[in-house]
Structure 1
């Protein structure tokens, strides 16, 4: 919940946006300074995508929905293997100048990379695993739908309809798990590295498709108004939502505050991910620069539209009473409001559930914050907790009934088309099969109640003793 800070002093430089207050400094960007970033993008990835399409053309039957099973079927009824742009790039890098340029770029480790720091940054994510995932899901992604300009690109892919939004979020979770799983995974040649390159080329494919459609029908997408699809500013905002927003937004609102070294390490990790993705890394040179960029984006870019409402509510509909969290709609709406605040939640059309659900969210925050603080206090518990979270999260991704069932290759699955948009999904009734995340709320609320009662009893007993010499009865 966005609570006011009673110790904060406001002056002419204090800015409050969507319930978040900060001091405006020269490091923050004006609207005019941010405007050019809407029209710059990863040109190298676009050029390489063109080369890769020439080497291995996309099956025509795969449009406008590529990589479905029907499009991959051969005449003999068997399926062709999925086209993997990372493998294509790797295997053809020595045959084309542009492909070689991209391959050499991503495989060249920048001088500013400290692998020990990157490994510590990976551990930060799992140290605060459950609250970190809740922050990424309900503030970074769902709350991020408040960025109305970016939503126009997402809506044109159909990737956030109520039927597929959950699958889309699991793909995002897989990407995060892969870049944080181990140091080997994030280094060149690792699984996280490969996924980052795939996502980079996927962004190029989405960009090319929308721009091609806009050339034929200018009314389909306005580059002048919305900027280039998946532009530099959009990508910087995405990295910021996965890193900076988690540090100064999602986790503090769940009662968790990172230590200074943890902040530096986590920002450094996502700066490296940004480098692999072809995203400008300068905004993440220091934690303060990263925070200033996030706050500038909050001021200038978070402007919800009607489409923002549709996509945000589709996410809740797709997650309602589904594993592994098994959260009811009331709980999901309560935690969304807790993390994003009343103003933004109202603009996104998020329902206002009964106070009972806010009590559960309060109990959940008490439970996870206490759990995380205890774990990180003792090194042996911290190491065991991080290892357990890594195993548990990845097991969920590979579970057919709960997660994806297999590793996603980030292929061009949600392809923009003239007649394709995202509509409001109908609410569905699903039978809950487990208490899930709400059980943590019950436990936390019960624990907080017992703790408060115990402290009150001890305090009252101490008061009585000091006033009247009250003593415990001897038996």
Structure 2
């Protein structure tokens, strides 16, 4: 849940001309438009590939790229082309911070970030429609933990790195889920907009970045502004690899805070489904490693 200070800032609105630009950039009507945009590069790849494990999806895309080129090669080219704003040395401090505090990061994700995300009713309907979280809680959480471990490895986000490949696999998995929901008839686009859309994807980046830093600080961990900037920069590139449009990848931690405020105020709508998802997560992980916490 947003802190009292964040809610006050949202109520008071922009305090500087720069904040005015950000509040306008992420105004609700603009965020609403992003709910009709998904990830065309990844989605085109999955139009004719049968659902399988994430690593298998990427293997198949690479095989077809070598044989056919086309949309498959376009996806690989996008993932392996490093944007001009990326400086791997600059994000090294952020990588080390996530590596150093991996256990606490996992605790914050499980008990704060993910639970808060479930209160965003429209995005959380993907979990409801697929039934993945309720059926296999611990496996999904451990898979997420493995992803975080991989991207925080040495050179993990560099093209060819383990984390880089893992994020490509996750991106294709999201495309497979979108296709499944589209073909299954289980998704109501009139009520929930397009599944795993750009606003939802940007919100996921916030869960792993902005909300984690906020949670770590709430637990008493000191994180300097320089360290926070590096952690944000690290996830800015991770978000790019996951298919988030660069227009939704904030350039500073101050801009990211405004996006978080606007996105939360746009989507926060806890329902019975939100409660069920949160309880399923906490019950499914109770007593299990690495935390062995009671329900």
Query: What SS is found at the alignment partner of 1:229?
Result: coil
| Larger-Rg structure | 1
TM-score by length of 1: 0.57
Moved over 3 A (4+): 1-5, 13-16, 21-25
Q: Which protein, 1 or 2, shows the higher relative CO under an 8 Å CA cutoff with sep ≥ 6?
A: 2
Deviation readout 1:107-131 (Å, 9 max, x if unpaired): 1111111111222211011233332
Shift of 1:290: 1.4
What is aligned with 1:250?
A: 215
What is aligned with 1:459?
A: none
Correspondence 1:177-326 to 2 at 5 A: 177-183=149-155, 185-214=156-185, 220-247=186-213, 249-282=214-247, 283-326=249-292
Unaligned runs of 5+ in 1: 59-65, 68-81, 215-219, 330-475
Change (3 A) 1:14 1:192: closer
Query: What SS is found at the alignment partner of 2:243?
Result: coil
What is aligned with 1:158?
A: 131
Shift of 1:134: 1.4
For the 8 Å contact 2:55–2:169, the answer to whether it is kept is no
For the 8 Å contact 1:47–1:98, the answer to whether it is kept is yes
Shift of 1:167: 1.2
For the 8 Å contact 1:2–1:253, the answer to whether it is kept is no
Q: State which of 72, 82, 104 in structure 1 corresponds to 2:77.
A: 104
Shift of 1:284: 2.0
1:124 and 1:236 mapped to 2: Cα distance? 21
What is aligned with 2:117?
A: 144
Q: State which of 15, 27, 31 in structure 1 corresponds to 2:10.
A: 15
1:189 and 1:90 mapped to 2: Cα distance? 13
1:309 and 1:243 mapped to 2: Cα distance? 23
For the 8 Å contact 2:109–2:208, the answer to whether it is kept is yes
Unaligned runs of 5+ in 2: none
For the 8 Å contact 1:39–1:228, the answer to whether it is kept is yes
For the 8 Å contact 2:129–2:187, the answer to whether it is kept is no
Deviation readout 1:151-206 (Å, 9 max, x if unpaired): 11111111111x511111111111111111111x2111121111111111111111
TM-score by length of 2: 0.89
Report the structure, 1 or 2, having the larger helix content.
Answer: 2
Count residues in correspondence.
Answer: 287
Correspondence 1:9-158 to 2 at 5 A: 14-15=9-10, 25-26=19-20, 27-28=22-23, 29-51=26-48, 53=49, 57-58=50-51, 84-94=56-66, 95-158=68-131
2:133 and 2:65 mapped to 1: Cα distance? 34
Shift of 1:30: 2.6
Query: What SS is found at the alignment partner of 2:90?
Result: helix
What is aligned with 1:356?
A: none
For the 8 Å contact 1:160–1:168, the answer to whether it is kept is yes
